[in-house]
Structure 1
Amino acid sequence: MKKHAVAAAGEPLPQEHTNADASPPQDHRVRVAEIKRERMRERLIEATMAAYLECEPGHHPVVDDVIRIAEVSRGSFYKHFEAIDEVFAEIGRRMAREMLQTYGRLTASLQDGAARMALGPLMALVRAAMEPRHGAFIARVDFIEFLASDEPRASLVAMSLHEGRLHGAVTFDSIQAAMDLVVGTTVEGARRIVRTRTLDGGYIRELAGMVLRGLGVSPLAADRAVSQAWQRLVDESATLSWWKPVSPA
């Protein structure tokens, strides 16, 4: 029979050592499963963006396109997303969030309101040329609708327009009309860039200048603003993961 130690009278009983109060170690299998799940989600998102490059204008990828590029089964897709629209929404949110963060950082040192306004279209168009998958997505109607929604992270255009009008850099009566001008011109420019697969710096700067002139900026001031915004992009190119070497011509 196992013997137990008996404490002397008046002495506290000895406490057995236990790990009951210690935090249990993280289940390794759960952690590995989470990592695999996140990797598969990213794989499907990347495949969806790649699928956009194969689509004809006005069309969108379907699940079969995505699983073919990702080289996974249909069941694998539906383990991670309920529908292809869920993937589109995730890409849209990510892009809008990243665009807003990058815009805020790059415009922090730009004092000219028109230059700040020009940076948005310039950034979107240059990236469309340097990263075609990105351009293929923003050139779609679903991304236009996302930018026009009430999603706080999609307020880049409205924010820059309100700020520009407040400081007298641009003039307009209808914020909706002004947004349509900026977004519509940028999206059409992205469509042309994706279709031609070329980066024409002169075309991109001219398009941004036209946007500014349409918002009441004088031709001279518009050219100056576009030059400042373009130089800002070039100066910060090392901090942009998507930037590729480009001639300023």
Structure 2
Amino acid sequence: MPPLTFIPTEREDHRSVAARKKREAMRTRILRAIMDLYSDPAKISTSIEDVAREAEISRGTFYKHFTSLDEALIAVGREVTDQMTQDMLPIYDVVSDPVNRVSTGLRLFLTRALTDHRWAAFVLRAELVAQESVLLTYVMKDLRHGAHEGLMEFDNLQAAVDSVMGATVEGIRTILLKRTKDPAQYIDSTIRITLRGLAVEKRRAIKATETSRELVDALPQSVRQTWRAGT
């Protein structure tokens, strides 16, 4: 006689699905609360108690999903940057030239900061790039490709990544704090200077800056509307 095999009933399957959806909904609720708190410039520091109060949950519920505030913050950072990277793909993935890809990626982040201040404020206070994030993978790949093709030059990949990400974060800060009277010109300059710092030839850096402007202008309206809604 063959061994008995447990076959879940439809009722039990439904319970499992319902429980998973409930967990996912609660996790999303916690992450949204964290993003709201960290994007508020009036909040100097944030605690688990603050998150629990904002999400209207108990500390115990928080700990069912995350072991610490740092772990939850990393999760939010990863989701924010990964979602941003997904928004970029309609135009980013059709670009093969690594110089144009770096230029386009940087422009997309700075352009979003112009309209989505909640997102920009969160990026400045939280960890922009979590380990193994989609964004970090793309940046490293593009820089490696650029160096391999002789279009960029640097002696340390991590330093090159930090240069690009540093320009991104500080660019977002300048835009959010309105430290520039001409954001469009500032974004162009940031891109050119960053590319030149990677030893991209001057004319190529200027052309890549123009190309990324054209590509971002073609960004789907659905994505722009999402940014304006601050979601």
Same fold, TM-score > 0.5, yes or no = yes
Instruction: Show the counterpart of 1:24.
Output: 9
Identity across matched positions, percent: 33
CA contact 1:55–1:61 (8 Å) conserved in 2? no
Q: In the aligned structure 1, how far is the partner of 2:24 from the partner of 2:170? A: 34
SS at match of 1:45: helix
Runs (5+) with no aligned partner, structure 1: 1-19
Q: CA deviation at 1:164?
A: 1.5
* Consecutive aligned runs of 4 or more in structure 1 exceeding 6 Å deviation: none
Cα distance in 2 between the residues matched to 1:197 and 1:43: 33
CA contact (8 A) 2:99 2:208 kept: yes
Hey, what does 2:212 align to over in structure 1?
Answer: 229
- Alpha-carbon distance in 1 for matches of 2:133, 2:6: 44
- Structure 2 gap segments, 5+ residues each: none
Question: Is the 2:33–2:54 Cα contact (8 Å) retained in structure 1?
Answer: yes
Distance in 1 (CA, whole Å) between partners of 2:114 and 2:58 is: 32
Partner of 1:209: 192
Cα deviations across residues 1-24 of structure 1 (Å, max 9, x unaligned)?
xxxxxxxxxxxxxxxxxxx99751
- Cα offset, 1:44, TM superposition: 0.9
Paired residues, number: 221
Following TM superposition, by how much is the alpha carbon of 1:43 offset from its aligned partner in structure 2, in angstroms? 1.0
Work out whether residues 114 and 175 of structure 2, in 8 Å CA contact, stay in contact via their aligned partners in 1: yes
Question: How has the CA–CA distance of structure 1 residues 91 and 22 changed in structure 2, closer, same or farther, with 3 Å as cutoff?
Answer: closer
**Contact persistence 2:152–2:199 (CA under 8 A):** yes
Cα distance in 2 for partners of 1:195, 1:143 equals 18
Distance 1:61 1:127, change over 3 A: farther
TM-score norm. by structure 2 comes to 0.79
Q: Residues 39 and 222 from structure 1, CA distance in 2 versus in 1: closer, same or farther, beyond 3 angstroms?
A: same
Structural RMSD (CA): 3.1
Q: Which residue of 2 aligns with 1:184?
A: 166
Q: Which position in structure 2 is the counterpart of 1:39? A: 25
Provide, for residues 26-58 of structure 1, a one-character-per-residue CA deviation record: whole Å limited to 9, x for no partner: 33444433322221111110111111112469x
- Between Structure 1 and Structure 2, whose CA radius of gyration is higher? 1
